[in-house]
């Protein structure tokens, strides 16, 4: 996750106390999942800024619009539209996989770009939840002892969650191995890039 922070001021540069801040997915008006810490503490959306006009939130990689409101003031969207957040070091370590897994969606999946995976036995991973944004990259690292096999275009997962391995076949991620994927919104598939 990446932190975004700013301050709300009037035209004279005076801080505006307790502004209301709403964070949406860029260009959609859809409320974004936001957090008050980088350890996934959920933050209400919209939320109220601080007495000194400052505000901050954390969000997963992607593009966001920030809408600020304060009674008696008008704001333009130019400075807070299409904000790009990216944190290549945001990490999750989900519970070990025990069986072949379709449409994989661990907790906080959309907020992390590095997943530390493990499995209690060799398993197949047939698909990963599609991200909210195009071009999102995801690195899978096998921190366990059992092989995790990523299957190519596997119909066991929803079409938008499938993975194109680039080999036409399955790719094994052995212990201490890794694989990097990028999401292609045009073909609605994850694509192995490394």
pLDDT number for residue 32: 94
For the stretch 44-100, pLDDT in tens is: 999 999 999 999 999 988 889 999 999 988 887 666 778 888 777 789 999 999 999
Per the prediction, the chain carries an average pLDDT of 92
Q: Does 181 score more than 70 pLDDT?
A: yes
- Class of the CATH domain delimited by 2-85: mainly beta
Of the candidates 168, 173, 133, the one whose C-alpha atom is nearest the C-alpha of residue 149 is: 173
- Give the three-state DSSP class for 161: helix
Percent of the chain topping pLDDT 90: 71
- The 8-class DSSP code of residue 130 comes to P
pLDDT number for residue 124: 98
For the stretch 167-177, pLDDT in tens is: 999 999 999 99
CB atoms within 10 A of CB 122: 13
| Domain spans, the chain | 2-85, 91-192
- With contact defined as beta carbons under 8 Å apart, do 8 and 15 qualify? yes
Confidence of residue 39 (pLDDT cuts 50, 70, 90): confident
Alpha-carbon distance of 157 to 138, in angstroms, equals: 18
Confidence of residue 23 (pLDDT cuts 50, 70, 90): very high
- The 8-class DSSP code of residue 30 comes to P
- With contact defined as beta carbons under 8 Å apart, do 134 and 108 qualify? no
pLDDT number for residue 77: 66
DSSP string covering 134-153, please?
TT-EEEEEE-SSS-EEEPSS
Confidence of residue 164 (pLDDT cuts 50, 70, 90): very high
Strands 20-25 and 62-69 come out as: antiparallel
- With contact defined as beta carbons under 8 Å apart, do 152 and 170 qualify? yes
Q: Does 135 score more than 80 pLDDT?
A: no
Q: What is the mean pLDDT of residues 93-122?
A: 95
Q: Which long-range contacts (CB under 8 A, 24 or more apart) does 9-16 make?
A: 9/53, 10/73, 15/52, 15/53, 15/54, 16/53, 16/70, 16/73
Give the fold, CATH level 3, of 91-192.
Answer: Jelly Rolls (2.60.120)
């Amino acid at each position: 996750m990446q932190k975004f922070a700013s301050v709300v001021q009037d035209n004279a540069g005076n801080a505006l106390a307790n502004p209301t801040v709403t964070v949406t997915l860029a260009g959609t008006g859809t409320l974004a999942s936001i957090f008050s810490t980088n350890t996934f503490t959920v933050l209400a959306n919209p939320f109220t800024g601080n007495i000194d006009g400052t505000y901050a939130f954390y969000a997963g990689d992607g593009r966001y619009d920030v809408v600020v409101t304060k009674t008696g003031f008008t704001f333009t969207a130019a400075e807070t539209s299409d904000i790009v957040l990216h944190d290549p070091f945001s990490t999750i370590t989900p519970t070990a996989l025990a069986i072949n897994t379709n449409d994989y969606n661990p907790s906080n999946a959309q907020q992390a770009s590095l997943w530390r995976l493990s499995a209690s036995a060799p398993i197949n991973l047939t698909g990963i939840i599609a991200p909210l944004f195009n071009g999102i990259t995801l690195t899978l690292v096998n921190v366990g002892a059992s092989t995790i096999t990523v299957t190519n275009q596997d119909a066991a997962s929803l079409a938008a969650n499938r993975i194109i391995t680039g080999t036409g076949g399955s790719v094994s991620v052995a212990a201490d191995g890794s694989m990097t994927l990028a999401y292609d919104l045009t073909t609605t598939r994850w694509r192995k890039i490394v």
